[in-house]
Structure 1
Amino acid sequence: MLKLKIGIIKEGKTPLDARVALTPKKCVELMAAFPGAQVVVQPSDRRCFSDAEYQELDIPLQQNLADCDILMGVKEVPVVQLIPDKTYFFFSHTIKKQPQNAKLLRAILQNNITLIDYETLTNAQGQRLVAFGRYAGIVGAYNGIRTYGRKWGLFELKPAYLCREMEDMQEEYFKVKLPPIKIGVTGGGRVAGGAMEVLDKMHIKKVSVFDFLYKQFKEPVYAQLHSGDYNTRPDVEVWDSPDFYQHPHLYQSTFRKFTRVTDLLMACAYWDPHAPKLFTEEEARAADFKINTIADITCDVNGSIPCTKRSATIDAPAYDYNPQTGELEPPYSNSRNITVMAVDNLPCELPRNASRDFSRQLLDRVIPHLFNGDKDGILQRGTIATGGRLTDRYAYLQDFVDKAG
């Protein structure tokens, strides 16, 4: 029987993240399902599940994790905290050559660390196996509604991060009283799904794209907008999703028709830098541009939403974009401005719920492959570095590492 000692690390990145890869109950479930597994937890006074909650279920606390085979965290591990010759699981944010993490990847190679990134864990069809996307959508939609309410003085909702559990946040839904506005939700993945969960529970009616564009309503409504609803390839008459994802640079945005009828935009769609932006800053100055509030849940700075000029913070989640000057201004400072909610770590606002959801995915879809010889190649595909070298799949990162200052 394969024996593995798994250490849950204390998050070290600043600002500190309260989430955890495995909750206390999931640690117990893991050891019951795989008798060769032992789980220990590095003490932390900032984790959303306290040390005492682990100890109550007989999960040992251990400060020094040097004897562990596998170390699991959530966010990037500071270079000074890396333990050589170990296997790590965490979100490294390196595969897009994010400049702030070049030194981290170089240190991983220098320390002979095997890095398996949650973002790169996929099935044979390339679909991601674990993610926090659903909770990004849930918190992002709530924040978007909260932002709209504050902008127009309609209601005040308790910030999500002050809610201990999602149930506390859902109690706030009863305060939401919206006029007959139209809310556009882009995307078809986990993030959009999470956003629509919130809108459904707020009893905001979902309508078709056609009705959203051409009908008037006496109540607030929302529509889910897929890529084919607002992109076109001039030389192709029939929408072809695979072609769009393979050749996004050949497409043009047709989102302009939505900017004329949408009041609140919730951006939940993955955006390829080669794809067109939803709209331009020039279009945002048009007299018939109706969008006044944007929840940029994907939070791609200077990405699909051109007025997302910077990311915001959990305690200061919004800012105003002045479409006439192109400058940012304090939030809610002018009703003619576009108010943007753009927080890049939304799941951190409901860390207990997000951690439970993530732990479930990890236990069901990833952990078994540590004990079955990785028969489906999931761990192999997800490995960025091992033995002091980048794997073939991620060899394109070598120049990124070499240039790390």
Structure 2
Amino acid sequence: MSELHLWLRHEARTTERRTPVVPADARRLTASGVHLTVEESPQRIFPVEEYEAAGCRRAPTGSWVTAPPDAVILGLKELPDEPSVLTHRHVFFGHAYKQQPGAAELLGRFATGGGALLDLEYLVDDQGRRLAAFGFWAGYLGAALAVLRHRGRLVAPLRPTTKEDLDATLEPAAGDEEFTALVIGALGRSGRGATAAFDAAGVAATRWDLAETRDLDRAAVLGHDVTVNCVLATTPVPPFLRETDLDDPARRLRTLSDVTCDVGSPLNVLPVYDRTTDWTEPVRRLRKEPPLDLIAIDNLPSLLPRESSTDFSAALLPPLLGFGTSGPWGRCLDRFHQACRELGIEEGKLPHD
């Protein structure tokens, strides 16, 4: 295998402060012989100078479009709309394999340009377990924001913080009323994070996982004051809540936080909203009387950018050190080809097969 050239791109989304590789792990990559180019980014939690000190080459923002053909472009969230054709191998969360809106367009850009998507969500070991994920911090923040909203202490627009400062706002204060909370998918990464946030807030949450969701009791979901969903379905399952359920006169539910944000997918377990919320408007009211508020932010871990990036980078480092066309990365490429076939997208010969 030729020497690996990773190109860490600036994130186009203005609220994305995270990075898939932190400077300390960049140093380990360069020490192992990996060429690492890092784009300037005013919003990345780690300044580019720290990467330069770790042996990385510095490049202008957005210059990945002219990167050498063999460079692997590394990021987290969505690409800008241009260029219309993608010629490189890209590593990021594409959200394009479950018929999400825009999936065909994104995969078509790769197929037309001869590039490939190596989707981080599908970077798995031999048993199908995710090798690197932000799940814990997504769950932690999804529950934390729900607590703050329910207690009337959620301030918009949201701003990045530290776990220490966030936990200080979660501590119960005089006058806070007790409330019931439910975590669906409590045994997964996101569910464990959500449970930890409720613990920090002094709330003993009800915990559901596979046993409780096989034949889910919607009335019990509606019977909690706060519900946090951490289940990302990979096969069709009956929805956890439907539009008609929200009008149930017995509904006690007041705050619904959807960590998975699978809106638009036919596998969405909460098809009760049609668009996500964001840092500027983190809450959307789904029902006026009695009130029901939705939190559905699809880059929650970026609110704790340093902690979440450090954990993710540590998990991603071993696969990057072993980057190749077999093993986890080979499975990523296979899944890309499969997704193109499923959408009827005809691929040209990929230059890196």
TM-score under structure 2 length normalisation? 0.85
Moved more, 291-300 or 20-29: 291-300
The Cα of 1:354 is off from its aligned counterpart by 1.9
Letter in 1 for 2:332: G
Q: Hey, what's the Cα distance between the residues in 1 that align with 2:157 and 2:193?
A: 14
Q: Hey, what's the Cα distance between the residues in 2 that align with 1:62 and 1:44?
A: 10
* Residue equivalent to 1:291: 253
Alignment equivalent of 1:321, drawn from 286, 293, 311 = 286
Q: Hey, what's the Cα distance between the residues in 2 that align with 1:95 and 1:46?
A: 28
Q: Is the 1:135–1:346 Cα contact (8 Å) retained in structure 2?
A: yes
SS in 1 for 2:58: coil
Q: Is the 1:321–1:340 Cα contact (8 Å) retained in structure 2?
A: yes
**Compared CA separation, residues 159 and 23, structure 1 to 2 (3 A):** farther
Alignment equivalent of 1:115, drawn from 114, 117, 122 = 117
* Residue equivalent to 2:320: 367
The Cα of 1:286 is off from its aligned counterpart by 3.0
* Residue equivalent to 1:336: 290
* Residue equivalent to 1:45: 42
The Cα of 1:158 is off from its aligned counterpart by 5.3
Q: Hey, what's the Cα distance between the residues in 1 that align with 2:105 and 2:221?
A: 42
Q: Over residues 16-54 of structure 1, what are the superposed CA-to-partner deviations in whole Å (9 max), with x where a residue is unaligned?
A: 52221211111012223x2x2121211122222222332
Alignment equivalent of 1:259, drawn from 216, 222, 231 = 222
The Cα of 1:398 is off from its aligned counterpart by 4.1
SS in 2 for 1:399: coil
Q: Hey, what's the Cα distance between the residues in 2 that align with 1:267 and 1:99?
A: 21
The Cα of 1:11 is off from its aligned counterpart by 1.9
* Residue equivalent to 2:350: none
Alignment equivalent of 2:183, drawn from 149, 162, 185 = 185
Q: Hey, what's the Cα distance between the residues in 2 that align with 1:363 and 1:279?
A: 38
Q: Over residues 117-155 of structure 1, what are the superposed CA-to-partner deviations in whole Å (9 max), with x where a residue is unaligned?
A: 1111111222221222112111111110011012xxxxx
Q: Hey, what's the Cα distance between the residues in 2 that align with 1:315 and 1:272?
A: 30
* Residue equivalent to 2:344: 399
The Cα of 1:401 is off from its aligned counterpart by 6.6
* Residue equivalent to 1:17: 16
* Residue equivalent to 1:349: 303
SS in 2 for 1:45: coil
Letter in 1 for 2:91: F
Note the aligned Cα RMSD (angstroms): 2.8
Q: Hey, what's the Cα distance between the residues in 2 that align with 1:229 and 1:88?
A: 38
Letter in 2 for 1:399: G
* Residue equivalent to 1:381: 331
Q: Is the 1:158–1:172 Cα contact (8 Å) retained in structure 2?
A: no
**Compared CA separation, residues 83 and 103, structure 1 to 2 (3 A):** closer
**Compared CA separation, residues 22 and 83, structure 1 to 2 (3 A):** farther
Q: Is the 1:161–1:348 Cα contact (8 Å) retained in structure 2?
A: no
Q: Hey, what's the Cα distance between the residues in 2 that align with 1:159 and 1:51?
A: 29
Q: Structure 1, unaligned stretches of length 5 or more?
A: 151-155, 205-220, 233-252, 323-333
Q: Hey, what's the Cα distance between the residues in 2 that align with 1:160 and 1:289?
A: 29
1:227 aligns with 2:210: yes
Q: Hey, what's the Cα distance between the residues in 1 that align with 2:103 and 2:270?
A: 24
Letter in 2 for 1:126: G
Q: Hey, what's the Cα distance between the residues in 2 that align with 1:120 and 1:61?
A: 29
Q: Structure 2, unaligned stretches of length 5 or more?
A: 348-353
Residues 272-287 of structure 1: pairs in structure 2 closer than 5 A: 274-287=236-249
SS in 2 for 1:383: helix
